[in-house]
Structure 1
Amino acid sequence: MGKRRLEDAIQKVDYPVEVTYRCFELEPTMEREVKENIYEKLAKKYGMSIEQAKANTENMVRMAKEVGLDYQMDNLVLTNTFDAHRVTMFAKKQGLMKEMTDRILHAYYTESKHIGDHETLTELAVEVGLDSEAVANMLASNDMSEEVRRDEQQAQQYGITGVPFFLINGKYSLNGAHPTETFVQALNQVKEKETS
């Protein structure tokens, strides 16, 4: 959602904005195969009832719909996302990080795909133009792990504890899925400060 709103804001400003995606795992200790559903996981994590977890999630689904996203939370496949991040870093080397990020997010939130599964990740990577064998070989190794960890260490240095988090020019930050106009204002303010 925050990503979509930022993209909408960039369309509304009259100067180029370069976006760099970074890796951040919300649950780095999560297993690849998770038996719990999203509601059970949220209830356990935040000490709330299943009903409260569903209500919070429904609110997120509604907000996603407002920006044209179709979140299917009932069928979400929880998993460890480290390998998905590795694939995005691999895609970055080929100039396809945005496309890979978009494809993985859509697969996860809308299509209920298992984005911790190597075969699924390879299929998604091929869809955005990456070589199947190269991706499969990368996933079978430890390649790109260091790059993912480096991003995560940088996030720690900045004190980032959740996503979405937006860092503009390494100095100004916005935390959360703000309205598009907030992003427009922030980009304009930074542009003004940086050019004056």
Structure 2
Amino acid sequence: MKIEIWSDYVCPFCYIGKRRMEKALELFPHKEQAEIVFRSFELDPTAKKEYDLSIHEIIAQKYGISVEEAKRANNDVAKQAESVGLTFRFEEMKPTNTFDAHRLAKYADKKGKGREMHERLFYAYFTESKLISDHQVLVELAEEIGLDGDEVKQVLSSGHLEEEVRKDEQEASRLGVRGVPFFVINRKYAISGAQPTEVFLKSFQKIWDEENSSSPLKPLAADGGGLCNDQSCEM
């Protein structure tokens, strides 16, 4: 079962949804058969690398609400994060552009460290309040999970992997993805948003049953009315 996840590292519900999905997989009987693939998505491709405004002020301006209203909304999100074991520090958060973070994640994928890098980027932004557009910060995060710092510097200082990030974004547009997190399973099923763990688990089981049915046919009536097999006939 292939699970593709479109998400962005400054998206709070992407981190919450990721954790809920992971908890569902822990309970899923066939979790060893699940392949997770992270896809790139930028909530705001025009975002600056640094802002003089707080995340509360940015959200207030974006949605036309007061800063106090933005704070209350963020506090509600923080409580949802806490319910799945995450700590969101909105007061110290550093809003930024995530394009280079996505390029780093693509590099980590190629080195077999994709899942570790995705988790480290989310944690760095939401919990440690790191500026995840800063190349030195990205190098340090990459080194922490075992990647070569010099190689990462070369990737970030060049245009390497830009096309792969853009390809994911174009694919999201083709699939009709309008918001993240967005989960695509076996390129046939979609789950939108940070759904409860129970929803993920039920969806995984339903998809598994449908995809692994021994027959492509769905019965429309119960057994009865007479049936013969190679051994006998039942009346």
Q: Please state if 1:7 is matched with 2:25.
A: no
Deviation of 1:45 (Å): 1.1
Which has a greater percent of helix? Answer: 1
Instruction: Please give the per-residue CA displacement for 1:69-118, whole angstroms capped at 9, x wherever unaligned.
Output: 01101100011000000000000000111100000100000000000000
Percent identity at matched positions?
45
Once residues 63 and 175 of structure 2 are traced to their aligned partners in structure 1, the CA distance between those partners, rounded to angstroms, is 24
Letter in 2 for 1:89: K
* Structure 2 unaligned residues grouped into runs of 5+: 1-15, 214-235
Letter in 1 for 2:59: L
* Structure 1 unaligned residues grouped into runs of 5+: none
Instruction: Please give the per-residue CA displacement for 1:38-89, whole angstroms capped at 9, x wherever unaligned.
Output: 1111111111111111111111100000000011011000110000000000
Corresponding residue number in structure 1 for 2:137:
120
Corresponding residue number in structure 2 for 1:52:
69
Aligned pair partner of 1:85 in 102, 108, 118: 102
Once residues 54 and 187 of structure 2 are traced to their aligned partners in structure 1, the CA distance between those partners, rounded to angstroms, is 36
Deviation of 1:163 (Å): 1.2
Letter in 2 for 1:72: R
Letter in 2 for 1:130: L
Give the SS at the match of 2:35. Answer: coil
Q: CA RMSD in A?
A: 0.8
Corresponding residue number in structure 2 for 1:108:
125
TM-score by length of 2: 0.82
Matched pairs, number: 196
Letter in 1 for 2:155: M
Give the SS at the match of 2:190. Answer: strand
TM-score by length of 1: 0.98
Once residues 6 and 18 of structure 1 are traced to their aligned partners in structure 2, the CA distance between those partners, rounded to angstroms, is 13
User: Which sits farther off after the overlay, 137-146 or 48-57?
Assistant: 48-57
Once residues 99 and 10 of structure 1 are traced to their aligned partners in structure 2, the CA distance between those partners, rounded to angstroms, is 17
Once residues 118 and 13 of structure 1 are traced to their aligned partners in structure 2, the CA distance between those partners, rounded to angstroms, is 38
Give the SS at the match of 2:147. Answer: coil
Once residues 170 and 36 of structure 1 are traced to their aligned partners in structure 2, the CA distance between those partners, rounded to angstroms, is 40
Corresponding residue number in structure 2 for 1:180:
197
Aligned pair partner of 2:187 in 159, 170, 174: 170
Give the SS at the match of 2:56. Answer: helix
Letter in 1 for 2:183: F
Give the SS at the match of 1:146. Answer: helix
Letter in 2 for 1:174: I
Which has a greater percent of strand? Answer: 2
Corresponding residue number in structure 2 for 1:143:
160
Q: Please state if 1:38 is matched with 2:55.
A: yes
Q: Which has the larger radius of gyration?
A: 2
Give the SS at the match of 2:37. Answer: coil
Once residues 34 and 75 of structure 2 are traced to their aligned partners in structure 1, the CA distance between those partners, rounded to angstroms, is 32
Once residues 155 and 188 of structure 2 are traced to their aligned partners in structure 1, the CA distance between those partners, rounded to angstroms, is 34
Runs of 4+ in 1 over 4 A off after TM superposition: none
Once residues 174 and 51 of structure 2 are traced to their aligned partners in structure 1, the CA distance between those partners, rounded to angstroms, is 30
Once residues 206 and 52 of structure 2 are traced to their aligned partners in structure 1, the CA distance between those partners, rounded to angstroms, is 46
